[in-house]
Amino acid sequence: MDMSIVLTASMFFVLVGLLVSGFPVAFTLGGTGLLFGLIGIGTGTLDATFLEILPNRLFGNVVRNELLFAVPLFVSMGVMLEKSNVAEDLLENMGRLFGSLRGGLGISVTIVGALLAASTGIVGATVVTMGLLSLPTMLKRGYNPSLATGSIAAAGTLGQIIPPSIVLILLADVLSSAWQQAQLNKGIFSPTPMSAGELFAGALVPGLILVGMYIVYQIIIAIMKPSASPAIPAEEGDTLDSAFYGRLVLALLPPLVLIIAVLGSILTGIATPTEAASVGAIGAILLGAARLEARTRKIVIATLATLVALLLIANVADLRMAREVVPTFDKAAYYSAILLTVLFAAGLIYALLRTHQIGVLGEVMRSTVRISAMIYGILIGAALFSLVFRGLGGDEIIENMLHGLPGGQFTAILLVMVLMFVLGFFLDFIEITFVVVPVVAPALLAMDGTYGPIWLGVLMAMNLQTSFLTPPFGFALFYLRGVVPESVPTTAIYRGVLPFVVIQIIALALIAFEPEMVTWLPNQLFGK
């Protein structure tokens, strides 16, 4: 047997074995790559000069990759919103709004999960937060424990597919490189790029459809099994008066505005994902500060007013002062813009100081550094692993194997989806994104009949989300088990998530057989 086949197969199985054993991911990827790189050099299968590419590869693909700058910004945005009790207010008010209906609390959990997914994108944080806040209420109101836990776990994983999410950013980076490589292999030397904004647009409609399917399931259960999801008795529920609706608007409007500002600016092409992520991070800081006391809230509102004024000035005046003749109106607008910028900076600094004084900012920064360092460490290890894997001829072996399958592209994609689904029992989405996707994506995208990287990326994201829920090793189940009372058995959690796994598999099949669900919005927004 060819030594390159032996080494690449051994390399992959050793990697999976070490990952399943719990060894740190970054060290596993880098260590496995280095070990088999040395073995390849010793056996003459790998040219030693091939490893000299690594520094340039790291500098170009990791250090200078502007898309990856969005990762710590989105992480800080999500953690700040988590720590500022946005989820608590949303769950409380949405629960009161729908609580008088059978299945209302389950519907509330799904809607809040979708909102948190679009504002945080961090599955573990969402599942834990919603489990702590909503599960006791649902159990107290007589909800079936399986339905309650299944609803929370499923809603918490929506952060995988609803943009902006960390997994979509990482998938966009990996698939963009794979798409360019696939085009180069076809002889297209001016490859068409793929942006994270296009992947976000492609994932939005399937994500919203999945939310709708969850809500329909809640309604069906409420009709068929009323005792499993009872309504809150009228005498116990709050009156839905003007004061309640005012509280609902105050709880719902700020995160909605932030989501629209971040996601809308990406989808409309006003800002790149990195620029939009910085807007989201600053907006989350202001939102967190605004929830402290009335005085700080007034300062935050004034700070946002200066930002709105700046945007208006930028639209109505020409602020270039290097012209030979500058009208008086433009001069006044220029100096007004400087003053407003100073006022906005002062308001932001005040918000940072207030969140720091209550201990939230420090916790957010520590969490952001910890999560971002983990992701970048995995990126560096994955770069070494994939370099050695390609140097040993692994990419050609995988491409030949997938292209040689009976049934062509359909069989190849089905095999890859099954592999990712099974690996999702044991590995985190970051590990799968950096281990499996770079290996199989170029071969899949090179096949005739493929619908392109956006469709493939959304298909993979939905698959990864499904693996989060699948018993017995779904990560969302582990997160939820940590906060569920001991009175709720683990088997109840497993029974609860199985219907949602079926719903996700149906959604996955819809995406596979109706690619227009994914490609329609990117075509409308980006003309692709």
For residue 474, CA distances in Å to 334, 493, 527 come to 55, 11, 37
* Tally of helices (H runs) and strands (E runs) in the chain: 23, 0
> Does the residue 347 lie in any domain?
no
Q: Side-chain half-sphere of 153: how many Cα atoms within 13 Å? A: 36
Q: Is the pLDDT assigned to residue 448 strictly greater than 70? A: no
pLDDT at 450: 60
Condensed to tens digits (0 to 9), the pLDDT of residues 498-513 reads 999 999 999 999 998 8
Question: What pLDDT is recorded for position 205?
Answer: 92
- Tell me whether residue 376 is in a domain: yes
Q: What amino acid is encoded at 528 in this protein?
A: K
**Does the pLDDT of residue 116 top 90, yes or no?**
no
* Confidence band of 233 (pLDDT split at 50, 70, 90): low
The Cα 473–Cα 185 span in angstroms is 38
Whether 321 is covered by a domain: the verdict is no
| pLDDT at residue 235 greater than cutoff 60 | no
pLDDT of residue 121: 60
Is residue 333 in some structural domain? no
**In whole angstroms, how large is the CA radius of gyration of the chain?**
25
Question: What is the extent of the structural domain holding 43?
Answer: 1-292+358-528
Q: Is residue 332 part of a domain?
A: no
Average pLDDT over the chain reads 83
Average of per-residue pLDDT across 435-457: 80
pLDDT at residue number 125: 65
Residue 514 has pLDDT above 60, yes or no: yes
Are the CB atoms for 118 and 162 separated by under 8 Å?
Answer: yes
**Percentage of the chain lying above the pLDDT 70 cut:** 95
Is 500 in contact with 150 (CB distance < 8 Å)? Answer: yes
Residues comprising the chain, all counted: 528
Residue 178 domain-assigned (yes or no): yes
- 351 pLDDT more than 70: yes
pLDDT of residue 334: 92
Domains: count for the chain = 1
Q: Which residue has the higher pLDDT, 2 or 357?
A: 357
Of 199-213, 309-323, 429-443, where does mean pLDDT reach its minimum? Answer: 429-443
**pLDDT over 50 at 237, yes or no:** no
Give the integer Cα–Cα distance in Å for 288 and 125.
17
User: pLDDT of 383-424, one tens digit each?
Assistant: 888 888 888 887 777 777 777 777 777 888 888 888 888 877
Residue 310 lies in a domain: no
The answer to whether position 179 is within a domain reads yes
Better pLDDT: 43 or 84? 43
Q: Please check whether residue 72 is in contact with residue 118, taking contact to mean a CB–CB distance below 8 angstroms.
A: no
Residue 238 confidence (pLDDT) above 60: no
pTM recorded for the entire structure: 0.82
Model confidence over 264-311: pLDDT tens digits?
888 887 888 888 889 888 998 998 898 888 889 899 999 999 998 998
Give the residue with greater pLDDT, 64 vs 171.
171
| pLDDT tens-place string over residues 125-152 | 677 777 877 888 888 888 888 998 899 8
Does residue 192 or residue 200 have the better pLDDT?
A: 200
Measured distance CA(5)–CA(2) in Å, rounded? 5
